[in-house]
Structure 1
Amino acid sequence: MSAGLLFAVGLVSLALVALVAALWFGGPGPAPAMASINDPFKGSDWSGMPPLSRYPARDGAQLAYRYYGAEDNKVRGSVVLVHGSSASSQSMHKMASAFSQAGYDAYALDIRGHGASGSKGTIAYIGQLEDDLDDFIKVVAPSKPATLVGFSSGGGFVLRFAGSSRQTLFDNYLLLSPYLGPTAPNYRPNSGGWVRVGIPRLIALSILNSVHISVLNHLTVLNFALNEEATSLLTPSYSFNLASNFQPERNYQQNMRNVHGPCAVIAGANDEAFQTDQLEPELRRLGIRWPVTILPGIGHIPLTLEQGAIAAAVQAVHELAQ
């Protein structure tokens, strides 16, 4: 065997060893509990929260959601709410109630991998969340005009859907402090302390997926900064499949450019997870004219809990539907 061939074999062997080491040892570390994410829900009033309903997905799974019927004889349309990372439909209760009171049929989803939908923290394949949402629309048939609203990572997923070939399933889109990805100008390292990322494992799995090897996509790549009580109730970690799907496309800028319908953005000026002051400059730099509202004094989680922030979301949907 020639020296050149031996050298090449050695390099390949080292690369394989590094890949295996990254997969085995490169997972995420624990994330210390982040008070500003966990504490705002303490003492929340969950009275009046409707029970879970179910709809069948194409794989036979019964996925969960909560339905808040419009408290108005004349229904204005519908709003479908997508929660943030680790959460469930319960976290969107106050906002869903407000939309119901404003005359909209409101639906708060348990996205697969969360709450009562599927196995917590994982999904079967990248793209399954879009299939699930497609199935929800076909089975439940929310009234028109229909607006898809997403918060945080849910906002990133809503952007993913809004820029896809299925975007016409909804009439309007509203992004609440959306996660755009680690290369976006609004990104804070580890989302301000909310997540711990297993970067070596994430890179290794990305390499494998680039050559269509997805058998290890169930491995954990994200841990969330939940306290002990929340860990037992919510979703403490994400697999590669779920982490990859519950966010925008990797090229979030093109994802934005592909959105053809009405879309708006709302965020809080005191957001601890993202640099929200960078949202409007980034959109304008891309030539996108979506309305952007930055609410003074509002942090990340309070965007879904504070009455003023919720009223701004309701008003935004009113304006999108005009």
Structure 2
Amino acid sequence: MTIIALALLVVLATIALALVFGGPRRPAPMPSISAPFARVDFSDLPEQSTFRAEDGQALAYRQYRKCTHTGNGSVLLIHGSSARSASMHPLAKAMAAAGFAVYALDMRGHGASGTRGHIDRIGRLESDLEAFMREVCPPRPSTLVGFSAGAGFALRVAGSSHQKLFDRYLLLAPFIGDQAPTQRPRNGGWAEVGVPRIVAILLLNAFGFRFANAMTVIRFALSDEDGALLTPQYDFNLASNFRPARDYISTIRRARQPCAVMAGIDDEVFRSEQIEGIVREAGQNWPVTLLPNVGHMELTLEPSAIATVVRQLHDQW
């Protein structure tokens, strides 16, 4: 019994040390992510509206085409990690000009939706998505378009029991998984992950303890100025929910709705040349389009890349 007690103390001490000292370091700012937004004209950014989530929380979104019916249907845009709905503004404007009813969410834990960097449970984001579709009722056919981590979350939805919330999916420069061949070390410098802290929290969760889930496990490469506007860090719940399921191959395999993937060949965050192999390994024949001379953020900001994305919406389905 003494040996067992000592072993238990060692395990508990190791978990405690990992929780306290195993968090993520703060990465140096990554100019290729934030600098391109200095050229964006936000003067015509739509005002925010809100919808009521399942738990009563008011969550923010922007609407770009104020009509009840449109022949092209609707697009719901999901921003990337640390971002907010305004980051999708150039892409949203182009999609609206092409005849789509366009909506851009501040995902809970970002922008004006809830406490930045925090959600109360894993699965909350899917519940929020259901609430949005139920309350706002975007016209059909509906397309969920996600960018980067937002594309990872869109993939999570596409391969889940919630997949029929949308008629089709478009994944832009998707985060596919920590262990996927697309992954660069430290996401190319964009994110620092506190792996020891995550392992400790996973162990606690396995025994039903959730008290550490609000601890920070990811920090993003934002300057102080950008961090004041965006979301510089995620707790365990948000980091676990705003991403694809960890078994990404099974997630892709389970998707039944039409889906397409687009990325830039010069993406500095993910190895985009690996995407098609992953999709084919999972047995899907999804179109995978790689744009030459396009980096990560350029996919949603550069006019030529945006035009290609909009054509994908029109031509693919």
Q: 1:38 aligns with which of 34, 37, 62?
A: 34
Residue in 2 aligned with 1:213? 209
SS of alignment partner, residue 61 of structure 2: strand
Q: Distance in 2 between matches of 1:230 and 1:278?
A: 31
Q: 2:243 aligns with which of 220, 242, 247?
A: 247
Residue in 2 aligned with 1:86? 82
Residue in 2 aligned with 1:173? 169
| Aligned residue pair count | 317
The alpha-carbon deviation at position 9 of structure 1 amounts to 2.1
Change (3 A) 1:162 1:191: same
- Name stretches of at least 5 consecutive residues in structure 2 with no aligned partner: none
Change (3 A) 1:73 1:155: closer
The alpha-carbon deviation at position 32 of structure 1 amounts to 0.4
Q: Distance in 1 between matches of 2:164 and 2:275?
A: 24
The alpha-carbon deviation at position 136 of structure 1 amounts to 0.1
How much identity, in percent, do the aligned residues show? Answer: 49
Q: Distance in 1 between matches of 2:83 and 2:218?
A: 14
Query: Is 1:193 matched up with 2:180?
Result: no
The alpha-carbon deviation at position 12 of structure 1 amounts to 1.5
Query: Is 1:98 matched up with 2:85?
Result: no
The alpha-carbon deviation at position 74 of structure 1 amounts to 4.8
Kindly provide the CA deviation profile for residues 173-195 of structure 1, in whole angstroms up to 9, marking residues without a partner as x.
00001101111010011100001
Residue in 2 aligned with 1:228? 224
Kindly provide the CA deviation profile for residues 127-169 of structure 1, in whole angstroms up to 9, marking residues without a partner as x.
0000000000000000000000000000000000111111111
Q: 1:137 aligns with which of 133, 138, 150?
A: 133
Q: Distance in 2 between matches of 1:13 and 1:74?
A: 63
Q: Distance in 2 between matches of 1:180 and 1:282?
A: 9
Larger mean CA deviation between 301-310 and 85-94 belongs to 301-310
Q: 2:6 aligns with which of 2, 10, 23?
A: 10
Q: TM-score, structure 1 length as denominator?
A: 0.96
Give the partner amino acid of 1:301: M
The alpha-carbon deviation at position 73 of structure 1 amounts to 8.7
Kindly provide the CA deviation profile for residues 72-131 of structure 1, in whole angstroms up to 9, marking residues without a partner as x.
995310000000000000000001101100000000000000000000000010000000
Q: Distance in 2 between matches of 1:286 and 1:107?
A: 30
Q: Distance in 2 between matches of 1:51 and 1:221?
A: 32
Q: Contact 1:70 / 1:100 at 8 angstroms: preserved in 2?
A: no
- Name stretches of at least 5 consecutive residues in structure 1 with no aligned partner: none
Q: Distance in 2 between matches of 1:16 and 1:218?
A: 19
Residue in 1 aligned with 2:282? 286
Superposed CA RMSD: 1.4
The alpha-carbon deviation at position 229 of structure 1 amounts to 1.5
The alpha-carbon deviation at position 291 of structure 1 amounts to 0.2
Q: Contact 1:71 / 1:104 at 8 angstroms: preserved in 2?
A: no
Q: Distance in 2 between matches of 1:20 and 1:92?
A: 40
Q: Contact 2:249 / 2:281 at 8 angstroms: preserved in 1?
A: no
Q: 1:159 aligns with which of 142, 145, 155?
A: 155
Q: Contact 1:145 / 1:171 at 8 angstroms: preserved in 2?
A: yes
Residue in 2 aligned with 1:54? 50
Give the partner amino acid of 2:17: A
Give the partner amino acid of 2:297: I
Q: Distance in 1 between matches of 2:279 and 2:306?
A: 23
Which contiguous aligned blocks of 4+ residues in structure 1 show a shift greater than 4 angstroms? 70-74
Q: Contact 1:70 / 1:101 at 8 angstroms: preserved in 2?
A: no
Q: Distance in 2 between matches of 1:71 and 1:149?
A: 20
Q: Contact 1:72 / 1:102 at 8 angstroms: preserved in 2?
A: no
Give the partner amino acid of 1:14: V
Change (3 A) 1:144 1:71: closer
Q: How does 1:253-268 map to 2 (within 5 A)?
A: 253-268=249-264
Give the partner amino acid of 1:87: A
Q: Distance in 2 between matches of 1:71 and 1:311?
A: 23
Q: TM-score, structure 2 length as denominator?
A: 0.97
